[in-house]
Structure formats: structure tokens, C-alpha cells
């Protein structure tokens, strides 16, 4: 899978994102690094922030498209 469908899912889940990035870590289309900074993440624990990302990407996680996912999240001021 290219990064574009994942980026689209994240853009839908985080319309307020000030930073949103998806990197294919290995070039193989299944190991991704996701970075999201959004005001809607402010005040949430890291566990809750990452849960939001997992929810946004639940379909490609469930069907095995994403083999490995690294997440970096931040609440925007």
C-alpha cells in the first residue's frame, strides 16, 4: 500500500492537524511511520492519542495491510 490511502484516513480523522505525515519506512508498503500533531489531541494521554490513530487506521490494521506502525503524536497548542 502506498502512503496516500493512509494519509487520507488520517486527514479525515484529524481535520485540524497542523502536522500530518506518513512515511513508508522500508519502501515495502507495510512498515509505516505516522506523525500527527493536532489540537484535538491536546490534553489526552499518549495512550489515548495513539488510540485515536489506531482507530483512524483500524481497517488497514485489521486486514494486515499495515504490518508495522510507528506512531508519533502531539497535541497542538
Which residues of this chain interact with another protein, rule CB under 8 A? 46-47, 50-51, 54, 58, 61-62, 68-72
Distance CA 24, CA 68 (A): 10
Nearer to another protein among residue 33 and residue 40 (C-beta)? 33
Q: Classify strands 17-24 and 31-38 as parallel, antiparallel or unpaired.
A: antiparallel
Cα–Cα distance list, 45 to 1, 32, 40, 41, 74 (Å): 30, 22, 12, 9, 10
Smallest gap, in angstroms, from Cβ of residue 54 to another protein? 5
Smallest gap, in angstroms, from Cβ of residue 42 to another protein? 17
Smallest gap, in angstroms, from Cβ of residue 66 to another protein? 9
Residues 34/72, Cβ–Cβ less than 8 Å? yes
Nearer to another protein among residue 17 and residue 50 (C-beta)? 50
Nearer to another protein among residue 7 and residue 74 (C-beta)? 74
Amino acid at each position: 500500500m502506498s502512503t496516500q490511502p493512509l494519509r487520507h484516513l488520517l486527514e479525515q480523522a484529524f481535520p485540524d492537524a497542523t502536522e500530518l505525515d506518513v512515511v513508508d519506512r522500508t519502501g515495502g508498503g507495510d512498515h509505516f511511520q505516522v506523525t500527527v500533531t493536532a489540537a484535538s489531541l491536546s490534553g489526552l494521554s499518549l495512550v489515548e492519542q495513539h488510540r485515536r490513530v489506531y482507530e483512524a487506521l483500524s481497517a488497514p490494521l485489521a486486514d494486515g495491510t499495515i504490518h508495522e506502525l510507528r506512531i508519533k503524536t502531539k497535541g497542538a497548542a
